[in-house]
């Protein structure tokens, strides 16, 4: 597993170094790096998935583990582990890395090597977050993925990029410091209980915190993960960051970075503090339902294509928050499916939004219209992913939201009904987006626009196939995450 991280980091450095020779070489190196890492990943997980290789010895949860002594004085290890949930999210990260490279192929002309380096380093940090089971290492990767994403927005973003990048960094860095304080508090408490230092997730599971300290520590983790999700009312950095980021940055931000917050809630929030999480579940469910409705209403009022999709992410990720704190294995399964489905559909929509901005030099919907006639390939893909985002039966988003609402209904029928209203509002703003951008009269200056290339269609076709597969036959994904969710249920005593 460590090879995945090393190759991504070295590939980024090589891409940066190569820009002095050829402006097109960094993107090719990035593509080759992702191909190599994906090959390593497939070779790593293929026996586990197809041959049903037993889980790592001594564990009913982990598919594989890897650990090296790092700072023995404080019990810190370079410790990685993979279960079904992290396997899916690492796979999603690598897939959307390809999407980001294709999206940036002709868009980035200035300092292309440094751009591709930051892209690969962001992916490396994200993969590390999904694999790290030493909490000190987890925090290190959490910070590693923030700095290159800040640079992607600040250097290659659009007209108001500096403010958006600074807002993104302040929100995520401040919440990350709260998480660091929570990690250190838990480590000190572990020393007081055992006499030894350890930042291991497995060790902390064996010595859980109790009492008021547990509640305070849980809040430190919770705020960091809610900001990254992002949940209402900590969401205000997201529309600005998405709107100003380059297309590749928006793809990675929406498709991958937001999922680190959801992953953290399940892995560390629920995993380490199940009793506290149960106690906070009711207010957090209310926050989730409000976020779902709030994001949907604000999305409907947007005139900026990217900003509309950004607010839709606030709404859709609200479903993940609901799924986590519905405290039901059915809803937890839906939350994991929602992470994957939202990553696929929203990344595709941001790729389409970026392509439109590159061709039209605007994101304003009132300056669009009739674009299906000029770009039928793009119009067809936009229709598919917009319908997927609405929650059309047979596609992954529907299956995820159905499982979440079904799980929530078992405990909170009223909240389930309120959250279901967002499905209606989502259809309104999504179909309005399709109508305003791609139907109606075509302006004369748009008649010669370049349609999607074969490479663009291939990449979007892969994302579309993923949504179809999740909607029609999600069982393989559910089978992968079942051991993790079963373990969480056992920890919580539910």
Q: What is the pLDDT of residues 82-118, one digit of tens each?
A: 998 999 999 999 999 999 998 888 777 788 889 999 9
Whether residues 14 and 59 fall in one domain: yes
Cα 474 from chain centroid?
19
Of the pLDDT bands very low, low, confident and very high (cuts 50, 70, 90), residue 54 is very low
The total number of residues shown for the chain amounts to: 494
Place of tokens 């889980």: 55
Whether residues 167 and 205 fall in one domain: yes
pLDDT at res. 19: 82
**Who wins on pLDDT, 300 or 130?**
130
Which of the given ranges, 50-59, 250-259, 421-430, has the highest pLDDT on average?
A: 250-259
pLDDT at res. 268: 92
pLDDT at res. 494: 53
- How confident is the prediction for the chain on average, in pLDDT? 88
Residue 59 has pLDDT above 50, yes or no: no
Instruction: Over range 373-378, report the average pLDDT.
Output: 90
Whether residues 262 and 295 fall in one domain: no
pLDDT at res. 57: 41
The partner residues of 78 in beta bridges, in order of sequence, read 68
Instruction: Over range 56-79, report the average pLDDT.
Output: 80
Whether residues 87 and 176 fall in one domain: yes
Whether residues 70 and 153 fall in one domain: yes
Which of 263, 279, 295 is the endpoint of a domain?
A: 279
pLDDT at res. 447: 67
Whether residues 113 and 159 fall in one domain: yes
Residue 344 has pLDDT above 70, yes or no: yes
Nearest to 439 by CA among 368, 356, 370, 365: 370
Residue 26 has pLDDT above 80, yes or no: yes
Cα 465 from chain centroid?
19
Report which DSSP code applies to 442.
P
Q: How far apart are CA 270 and CA 260, in angstroms?
A: 14
Whether residues 31 and 156 fall in one domain: yes
Kind plus residue range of the DSSP H or E element containing 484: helix 475-492
Residue 417 has pLDDT above 60, yes or no: yes
| C-alpha neighbours within 13 Å on the C-beta side of residue 179 | 28
pLDDT at res. 104: 83
Q: How far apart are CA 14 and CA 125, in angstroms?
A: 17
Q: 3-class SS at 78?
A: strand
Question: The domain containing residue 459 runs over which residues?
Answer: 285-494
Nearest to 65 by CA among 5, 136, 131: 131
Weakest-pLDDT range from 55-59, 205-209, 285-289, 403-407: 55-59
CA angle 425, 433, 294 (to 5 degrees): 35
Q: 3-class SS at 70?
A: strand
Instruction: Over range 225-237, report the average pLDDT.
Output: 89
Whether residues 212 and 355 fall in one domain: no
User: Quick one: what percent of the chain has pLDDT higher than 70?
Assistant: 96
pLDDT at res. 13: 93
Q: Is residue 116 within 8 Å of residue 26, measured between CB atoms?
A: yes
Whether residues 129 and 144 fall in one domain: yes
Of the pLDDT bands very low, low, confident and very high (cuts 50, 70, 90), residue 7 is very high
Ramachandran area for residue 83 (φ above 0: left; ψ -120 to 50: alpha; else beta): beta
Whether residues 159 and 128 fall in one domain: yes
pLDDT at res. 444: 66
Q: Which two tokens stand for residue 410?
A: 């078992």
pLDDT at res. 58: 40
DSSP letter for each residue of 19-57: TTT-TTHHHHHHHHHHHHHHHHHHHHHHHHHHS-PPPST
pLDDT at res. 48: 73
Whether residues 272 and 291 fall in one domain: no
Whether residues 87 and 213 fall in one domain: yes
Task: Enter the pTM of the model.
Answer: 0.92
- Nearest-Å Rg of the Cα atoms of the chain is 22
Residue 423 has pLDDT above 90, yes or no: no
Q: How far apart are CA 165 and CA 150, in angstroms?
A: 5
Which of 279, 302, 334 is the endpoint of a domain?
A: 279
Q: Is residue 145 within 8 Å of residue 105, measured between CB atoms?
A: no
Tally of domains in the chain: 2
Of the pLDDT bands very low, low, confident and very high (cuts 50, 70, 90), residue 55 is very low
Which of 279, 309, 334 is the endpoint of a domain?
A: 279
């Amino acid at each position: 597993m460590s090879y995945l991280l090393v190759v991504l980091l070295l590939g980024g450095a090589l891409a940066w170094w190569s820009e002095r020779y050829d402006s097109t070489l960094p993107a090719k190196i990035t593509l080759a790096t992702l191909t190599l890492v994906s090959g390593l990943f497939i070779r790593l997980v293929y026996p586990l998935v197809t041959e049903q290789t037993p889980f790592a010895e001594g564990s009913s949860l982990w598919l594989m583990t890897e650990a090296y002594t790092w700072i023995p004085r404080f019990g810190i290890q370079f410790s990685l582990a993979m279960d079904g949930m992290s396997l899916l999210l690492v796979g999603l990260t690598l897939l959307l890395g390809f999407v980001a490279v294709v999206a940036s192929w002709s868009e980035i002309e200035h300092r292309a090597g440094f751009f591709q380096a930051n892209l690969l380093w962001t992916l490396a940090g994200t993969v590390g977050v999904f694999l790290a089971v030493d909490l000190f290492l987890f925090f290190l990767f959490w910070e590693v993925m923030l700095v290159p994403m800040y640079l992607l927005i600040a250097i290659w973003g659009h007209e108001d990029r500096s403010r958006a990048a600074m807002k993104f960094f302040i929100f995520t860095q401040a919440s990350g410091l709260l998480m660091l304080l929570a990690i250190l508090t838990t480590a000190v408490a572990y020393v007081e209980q055992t006499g030894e230092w350890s930042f291991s997730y497995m060790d902390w599971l064996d010595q859980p915190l109790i009492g008021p300290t547990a509640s305070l520590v849980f809040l430190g983790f919770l705020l960091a993960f809610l900001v990254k999700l992002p949940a209402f009312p900590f969401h205000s950095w997201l529309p600005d960051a998405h709107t100003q980021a380059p297309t590749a940055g928006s793809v990675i931000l929406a498709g991958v970075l937001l999922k680190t917050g959801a992953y953290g809630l399940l892995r560390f929030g629920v995993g380490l503090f199940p009793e506290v999480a149960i106690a906070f579940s009711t207010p957090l469910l209310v926050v989730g339902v409000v976020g779902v409705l709030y994001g949907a209403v604000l999305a409907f009022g947007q005139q900026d294509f990217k900003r509309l999709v950004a607010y839709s992410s606030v709404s859709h990720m609200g479903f993940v928050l609901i799924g986590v704190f519905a405290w039901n294995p059915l809803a937890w399964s839906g939350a994991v499916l929602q992470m994957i489905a939202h990553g696929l559909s929203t990344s595709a929509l941001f790729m389409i939004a970026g392509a439109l901005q590159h061709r039209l030099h605007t994101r304003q919907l009132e300056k669009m219209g009739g674009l299906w006639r000029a770009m039928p390939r793009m119009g067809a893909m936009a229709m598919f992913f917009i319908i997927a985002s609405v929650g059309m039966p047979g596609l992954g988003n529907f299956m995820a939201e159905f499982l979440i609402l079904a799980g929530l209904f078992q405990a909170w029928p009223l909240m389930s009904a309120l959250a279901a209203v967002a499905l209606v509002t989502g259809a309104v703003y999504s179909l309005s987006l399709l109508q305003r951008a791609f139907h109606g009269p075509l302006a004369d200056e748009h008649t010669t626009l370049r349609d999607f290339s074969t490479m663009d269609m291939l990449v979007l076709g892969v994302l579309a196939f993923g949504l179809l597969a999740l909607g029609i036959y999600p069982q393989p994904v559910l089978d992968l995450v079942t051991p993790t969710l079963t373990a969480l249920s056992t920890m919580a005593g539910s």
